[in-house]
Amino acid sequence: MLFAVAMIVFPFGYALVLSMQDFVFGHDAHFVGFGNYVRMAGDPQVRLALVLTVELWLVSLALQLVIGTWLGLLLARMRRGRGLARAVLVSPFMLPPVVVGMMAIVILDPSFGIANWLLGLMGIAPRLFLASPDTVILTLAGIDTWQWAPFVALIVLGGYLSLPSDVFEAAAIDGAAGWRRFRYVTLPLLAPTIVTAAVLRSVDLLRFFDIIYITTAGGPGYASTTLNILAYRRGFEFFDIGYATATMVALAAVVFGTTLAFARIRRAVRW
Amino acid sequence: MVGRRIGVWFDRLMLALVLAVLVVPVLWVGLSAFKPRTEVAALPPHLFVRPTLENFVELFGRTDFGQNTLNSLIVATGSTLLGLGLAAPASFAMAWHRLSWPATATLFARMAPGALFLLPWFLMFSDVGLTGTHLVLILTHAVITLPVGVWVLLPYFEAMPRDLVESAQVDGASSMQALLKVALPVAMPGLVVAAILCFVFSWNYFLFALVLSGFNTKTAIVASFNFVGEGVTNWGALMAAAVVIALPPLLLTLLIQRRLVAGLASGAVKG
């Protein structure tokens, strides 16, 4: 309890206080009430960061849920080799994010990376990947999907294996097969599982930090400066502590709100 | 019948493709770590070169990476012990008294962006002069490991027959003794999973060590990131570092892969 108070409750309260001050490191702090939040509302950089955060979140989430569900159901159909597949599937998301970032840097390097060389073999023009503002978000979404779609797949597999099999037998007798079976039987039954996966991924994606910071540090320009990156840089590079904390509190509120919204959705799809 | 067999082979083919996409980048990095530095960035890539340890020799000889790895070990072990030391009695009490709000509260710590705590911590620990010690990193990483421990252990304690603990109490055991002598041995499998997850999470964690570690306590994760930041063009040493920091989590998770996903998803399933 003492630990929780000292390390979590107190810092959180402190953060709330800081977010209401115009504290810049080396200067005196003044209480400004909701001034920082008002400043955020009119700050074009915050707006851009919010748009990028949402973009990265939605693109990655969509990719991971679709690929993960497909892969999970594919695994459920396999009779053999599931153990080996599982061993491979857990690896990406247990790798340190720093390693994933380093892999991305080396493989996706525009001139020396193997990715462009492979594309060249297939006659496709080289891409800039992380180095272009047009593709950086999509590339980051791709990296995160590489890492976490297997996680979604394993959750879906677990959910599928715990479903009662007589439902599928009944569906088979009724003649439901292929797409219809998926759409009207499997998907509704799996919906709570998929929503669970969506919550877990959303919490991580909204505060996605490590791999962005490692590969692009928010660049090129500000093209991958999400809210989390923006707050970090304002806090630890410009020491604009009050304003940075206010940004973090706002982000925490977004994460929290999203989770609550998903809890609603899950209640709606429960069967 | 024939259509079905084609379907099975198609599934196998798709699964093999997915696994290749997941494995090849990791293997590529692993392979690069053992190539002579002149070969690492060669395109077209030379697959069969005489393997060498020169990248590792350079990594450990020319930099402090040995010390960094040791720091990572100290911090990960310390925060695992601290996190579990707190999580075991906490989750035991929660299961016993059927409390759910403390578990929900730890979920909040897991949901908030790390940087939200980081700014207050940074100011707090600067005030007490603790920045740059192992203790700071152990304390802050325990904020990550504590919720993981609670959520992994909780189902094990909840599934435990109440008579077991009650009979121990009838025999005069205090609740701490009941936990240590009766409950924990029964929950041993859960404890192992929790310990491994805590260790890996702490080992992989980037943000807190990035800001709070000093020159002598820098973790291997942060040191690797610095290699990237310094624009080290020696990809060989970079890849060697990646191999060193990727091995512990990969090996450890292989031990518990079957329960891993359940452990990671715990907390969201109930919420």
Q: Tell me, what's the ipTM?
A: 0.84
Q: Looking at chain A from residue 242 to 271, which residues have their Cβ under 8 Å from any Cβ of chain B?
A: 244-245, 248-249, 251-252, 255-256, 259, 263
Domain boundaries, chain B: 65-235+242-265
**In this predicted structure, what is the pLDDT of residue B269?**
47
Mean pLDDT of chain A: 83
Six token digits for residue B179: 């936990």
| DSSP code per residue over A87-150 | HHHHHHHHS-HHHHHHHHHHHS-TTT-HHHHHHHHTTPPP--GGGSTTTHHHHHHHHHHHHHHH
Q: Looking at chain B from residue 227 to 246, which residues have their Cβ under 8 Å from any Cβ of chain A?
A: 228, 235, 238-239, 241-242, 245-246
Instruction: Inform me whether the C-beta atom of residue B183 falls under 8 Å from chain A C-beta atoms.
Output: no
Do A106 and B235 make contact, defined as CB atoms within 8 angstroms?
yes
Q: Looking at chain A from residue 104 to 123, which residues have their Cβ under 8 Å from any Cβ of chain B?
A: 105-107, 112, 114, 117
Indicate the fold that domain A44-226+245-269 takes in CATH: MetI-like fold (1.10.3720)
For A207, name the nearest residue in chain B, comparing CA atoms only.
B113
Helix (H, G, I), strand (E, B) or coil at A15: helix
d(CA B123, CA B4) in angstroms, rounded, equals 64
| Closest Cβ–Cβ partner in A71, A107, A255 for B25 | A107
Six token digits for residue A58: 């939605």
d(CA B241, CA B30) in angstroms, rounded, equals 10
Instruction: Inform me whether the C-beta atom of residue B84 falls under 8 Å from chain A C-beta atoms.
Output: no
Q: How many CB atoms lie within 10 A of CB A56?
A: 22
Q: Looking at chain B from residue 45 to 74, which residues have their Cβ under 8 Å from any Cβ of chain A?
A: 45
d(CA B152, CA B194) in angstroms, rounded, equals 6
Instruction: Inform me whether the C-beta atom of residue A173 falls under 8 Å from chain B C-beta atoms.
Output: no
Instruction: Inform me whether the C-beta atom of residue A161 falls under 8 Å from chain B C-beta atoms.
Output: no
Do A12 and B116 make contact, defined as CB atoms within 8 angstroms?
yes
d(CA B105, CA B241) in angstroms, rounded, equals 37
Q: For residue A23, is pLDDT > 70?
A: no
For A230, name the nearest residue in chain B, comparing CA atoms only.
B115
Condensed to tens digits (0 to 9), the pLDDT of residues B11-58 reads 888 888 999 889 988 988 888 888 887 777 777 777 677 788 888 888
Q: Which residues are registered as beta bridge partners of A31?
A: A21
**In this predicted structure, what is the pLDDT of residue B80?**
94
| DSSP code per residue over A152-197 | HHHHHHHHHHTS-HHHHHHHHHTT--HHHHIIIIIHHHHHHHHHHH
Point out the least confidently predicted range of A13-17, B1-5, B172-176. Answer: B1-5
Relative orientation angle of helices B188-204 and B134-158, to the nearest 10 degrees: 150
Instruction: Inform me whether the C-beta atom of residue B165 falls under 8 Å from chain A C-beta atoms.
Output: no
**In this predicted structure, what is the pLDDT of residue A22?**
64
d(CA A137, CA A139) in angstroms, rounded, equals 5
Residue in A156, A148, A195, A181 with CA at minimum distance from that of residue A75: A156
Point out the least confidently predicted range of A121-130, B1-10, B155-164, B257-266. Answer: B257-266
**In this predicted structure, what is the pLDDT of residue B93?**
83
Q: Which residues of A touch B75 (CB under 8 A)?
A: none
Quote the radius of gyration of chain B (alpha carbons, Å): 23
**In this predicted structure, what is the pLDDT of residue A56?**
93
| Closest Cβ–Cβ partner in A90, A103, A232 for B260 | A90
Taking the model in full, what pTM does it have? Answer: 0.86
CATH number of B65-235+242-265: 1.10.3720.10
Domain boundaries, chain A: 44-226+245-269
d(CA A128, CA B61) in angstroms, rounded, equals 35
Residue whose pair of structure tokens reads 């000093």 in the numeric block: B214
Condensed to tens digits (0 to 9), the pLDDT of residues A100-144 reads 998 898 888 887 788 888 888 887 877 888 888 888 999 999 999
**In this predicted structure, what is the pLDDT of residue A143?**
94
Do A241 and B119 make contact, defined as CB atoms within 8 angstroms?
yes
Interface mutation vs chain A, best among B81, B111, B127, most A CBs within 10 Å: B111
Provide the pLDDT confidence category of residue B231 given band limits of 50, 70 and 90. Answer: low
User: Phi then psi for A208, rounded to 5 degrees?
Assistant: -50, 120
